A = this chain, B = another copy of it.
């Protein structure tokens, strides 16, 4: 493996000193970039883009050519696992994902196949290897997966949902069934992330996009417990280097103190919690990643700069902060505005670091 020229993100995720705060953007490879839209048009569909390693590599690298970012994140989707489990994934234009054979009965759960990521999600591993080769040590590559609960919501609801009626009916009415489903997804997700690490992912992130829809005790039992199990079973070191794990429960600001005990190295924080508050809650147990409101990027560049300053000041001095948005960048944000955010982090963050 080539050596890493810029390891700021890996160091910050492990709370090691860095000369400035590193920065990347959730969904940085995506629709806000005209070059992404061009590649997607070439690919024909979102699913083709995800499942073709050449395309996935191409769009993963696009934001790095535009912005001085400190990490690449694998271009993929949290629904690759249901796709590989044969549940019939489709992305309808403007409608979001659709699962054609959702899990609705105990028998559906029994019939879920075992997932072998190197066979069933080979296109992802091929993409990871290709991206690592093309990155050639410029910045680390972050792999990812959805949390079992979050992937479970799509698998049970059959697509996106506002109120998660079906899976919550299962949670409260047939909790043993839901536990069996989540255990299956947890095994698959653990194997999947480990395969990504073996293929070359240098950090991994678990997206718990819908954990925040749960009551606290349900969150603990049906989301946090399974993420904790994944973290425990992940490969800890690869090529002589620690592979940091980031957990991100959107809407989980109230549970940061508990999340800090999950074994993860870092926690994602959405914009509804000040990083100063988050840091008090987690102490020195984990690093924090976030948390500019993605909608700030609609404002003029001088306002963006000022709001970046507020986020940096809220975290304050010392290591352990990776700058990011509090959720994915919106599709209609101007690239110049994203550039203004990245530039502001480069310019304003060194004052918070001693090194």
- Report A's interface with B, CB cutoff 8 A: 163-165, 168-169, 171-173, 212-219, 251, 253-254, 271-274, 277, 293-296, 298-300, 303, 307, 310, 326, 330, 332
Contact = CB atoms under 8 A, between A and B. Distances in A.
B218 A293 contact: yes
A327 to B, nearest CB: 9
A150 B274 CA distance: 22
29 contacts: A163-B294, A163-B330, A164-B295, A165-B298, A165-B332, A168-B293, A168-B295, A168-B296, A168-B298, A169-B295, A169-B298, A169-B299, A172-B295, A172-B307, A173-B299, A212-B272, A215-B272, A215-B274, A215-B326, A216-B277, A217-B274, A217-B310, A219-B272, A251-B251, A251-B272, A253-B254, A254-B254, A254-B273, A254-B277
Nearest to A307: B172
- Copies of this chain present in the complex amount to 2
A165 B299 CA distance: 10
A117 B273 CA distance: 37
Contact of A330 (B165, B254, B326): B165
B298 A172 contact: yes
A216 B254 CA distance: 13
Contacts of A294: 163
A173 to B, nearest CB: 4
Contacts of A272: 212-216, 219, 251, 254
Nearest to A270: B215
List 4 A-B pairs, minimum CB-CB distance, nearest first: A168-B295, A172-B299, A169-B298, A173-B299
Contacts of A253: 254
Contacts of A300: 173
Contact of A273 (B172, B216, B295, B310): B216
Contacts of A332: 165
Contacts of A251: 251, 272
B330 A295 contact: no
Nearest to A213: B272
B173 A298 contact: yes
A326 B212 CA distance: 14
Contacts of A171: 295
A76 to B, nearest CB: 22
A344 B49 CA distance: 52
Contacts of A163: 294-295, 330
A123 B171 CA distance: 43
Contacts of A330: 163, 165
A293 B163 CA distance: 10
A173 B173 CA distance: 47
A323 to B, nearest CB: 15
A296 B253 CA distance: 23
A318 B37 CA distance: 59
